[in-house]
Amino acid sequence: MSSCEAAVACSGLVRRFGDRDALSGLDLEVARGEIVLLVGPNGAGKTTLLRVLATVLRPTEGEAVVEGCSLPGQARKVRGRIGFLAHEPLVYPELTVTENLELYAALHGVAGERVATLRERVGLARRGNERAAELSRGLRQRLAIGRALLHDPSVLLLDEPTAALDEDGRSLLRQVLAEEGRTVLVATHEPEWFSGVATRQVPVRAGRVAA
Amino acid sequence: MRAFRALVRKDLVLELRTAEVVPAMLVFLLAVFTLVRFALGSSRLAGGSRAATGMLWAVVVLTALLALTRAFAQEREHGIWDGLLGAPVERWIMWAAKACSLWVFLAVSQVVAVPLFWLFFLQQGPSPSIPVLIAALLLADAGIAVLGALLAGLASAGRAREVLLPVLFLPFAVPLVLVASDLSVATISQQPSGFETLKRLGFLAAYDTIFALLGWALFEYVVEE
């Protein structure tokens, strides 16, 4: 598979925090429409890889290309195409569900009407006026899924997406993953839950893809 | 422009709901004025209105530190930086929005601070010119906000941010306090020439412009690394 066909391509990717290499020469290619599971122990570099691809961290060395745009040079182009679900829901606890989604809609240049659609889709239609802090952890995770999908990204980066989700929430996540055409990278400790939807598993250890 | 408006609105709504910054600034102001007033046992400072006006500027800068310390607290404490940085928005817009919110917080605190200052220290004797003082406050607030938003972003990434921020901010605030204080003190006992006043206001505007340009150019590097 050549890099130009890949939705995500990393070559010799290094991300250093002080003296520690969180990524140490990671190579990875993910084709468009693939659902790839990143598996491995805590501290293996899965979250760091997702944060680099989400343009939140700059790579120290190596090359990362997302949807044909290289990072960090073309990060701004990439940002509009990526949805990032992190460990934290990345929402303001004291803002309501609607206010949080409206804020991210404004940041992504998405029409305000999409907020109501997304709220409905993630099962928070009747909780629009509730503050994020008042939601249970599972409902906050749904809000985070709504935030990540707001701008209809072609690449989804999901970090432990099943955490705190109840059965309804997991069913919502399954629907999102089943949507055709979207490339998804999932960092997870529950690979068995994704069996049937995932294209393949990529083991990550010590900051690189394990053989 | 939509992203800028949304970010400013977010800060103002959060402040209205949490009341974390402005009430703390007001309590601090009131406490300092009360302490100085009663410690001296008189509304007249030893240096008269000049000393009182100079003290006002020192208090303005120290109060601003309270707002700056909390400037990116929500983003830091809840990991929201990753959400903001993942959005296709120029980083300088995030800095400009934060500077704008800080400017509003400073201006609101001074709406209360200036009358209190008058009440505590300037009931007798000459006072500085109100229009000049207000112009100086608005320009100084803009300088504090643009510089403060940049430094608060820088400090928010560090571990010793509560120590780092004052250490970074106060040296840069010295010229601002010197000129703003000089400007308002000069109007107490004499009518300074319009040229002198404009020259000092021009310095404050130049200070604002320089740090606005630095914020615009550097904020991306400050928050991304």
Tens place of pLDDT for every residue, chain B, 225 residues? 899 999 999 999 999 999 999 999 999 999 998 888 887 766 565 566 677 778 888 899 999 999 999 898 888 888 899 999 999 999 999 999 999 999 999 999 999 988 888 888 877 666 777 888 888 899 999 999 999 999 999 888 777 777 888 898 999 999 988 888 888 877 776 666 778 888 889 999 999 999 999 999 999 888 876
Contacts of A104 in chain B (CB under 8 A): 83, 87
For A54, A58, B56, B77, the CA distances from B81, given in Å and listed in that order, are: 12, 14, 35, 9
A19 vs A145: CA distance, rounded Å: 34
Q: How many CA atoms lie within 13 A of B45 on its CB side?
A: 22
Structural element, H or E, at residue A187: strand A183-187
The answer to whether A135 contacts chain B (CB < 8 Å) is no
The answer to whether B81 contacts chain A (CB < 8 Å) is yes
Asked if A61 and A12 touch (Cβ cutoff 8 Å), the reply is: yes
Neighbours of A113 (CB within 10 A): 9
What ipTM does this complex have? 0.86
Interface test with B, best of A47, A74, A90, A140 (most B CBs within 10 A): A90
CB spacing of A109 vs B224 below 8 angstroms: no
Residue type, position B4, single letter: F
The answer to whether B13 contacts chain A (CB < 8 Å) is yes
Region of residue A125 (left: phi > 0; alpha: psi -120 to 50; beta: else) = alpha
Asked if B155 and B168 touch (Cβ cutoff 8 Å), the reply is: yes
Question: Would you say the pTM of this structure is higher than 0.90?
Answer: no
The answer to whether A93 contacts chain B (CB < 8 Å) is yes
Residue A1: pLDDT over 60: no
A14 vs A130: CA distance, rounded Å: 41
A91 vs A101: CA distance, rounded Å: 9
Per-residue confidence band for A178, with pLDDT thresholds at 50, 70 and 90: confident
Q: Which residue of B has its CA nearest to A153?
A: B87
Contacts of B79 in chain A (CB under 8 A): 86-88, 90
The answer to whether A189 contacts chain B (CB < 8 Å) is no
Domains contained in chain B, number: 1
CB spacing of B82 vs A79 below 8 angstroms: no
Query: Which value, in Å, is the radius of gyration of the alpha carbons in chain B?
Result: 18
Average pLDDT value for residue range A122-138:
92
A105/chain B closest Cα distance in angstroms: 9
Please write the tens of the pLDDT for every residue from B129-164: 788 888 889 999 999 999 999 999 988 877 777 788
CB spacing of B10 vs A103 below 8 angstroms: yes
Q: What 8-state DSSP symbol labels residue A193?
A: G
Residue type, position A205, single letter: R
A91 vs A84: CA distance, rounded Å: 12
Q: Domain span at residue B131? A: 2-224
Q: Which residue of B has its CA nearest to A99?
A: B10
Query: Which value, in Å, is the radius of gyration of the alpha carbons in chain A?
Result: 17
User: How many pairs of residues across A and B have Cβ atoms under 8 Å apart?
Assistant: 79
B191 vs B54: CA distance, rounded Å: 18
What pLDDT does A48 receive?
A: 94
Q: Which CATH architecture has domain A32-57+76-206?
A: 3-Layer(aba) Sandwich (3.40)
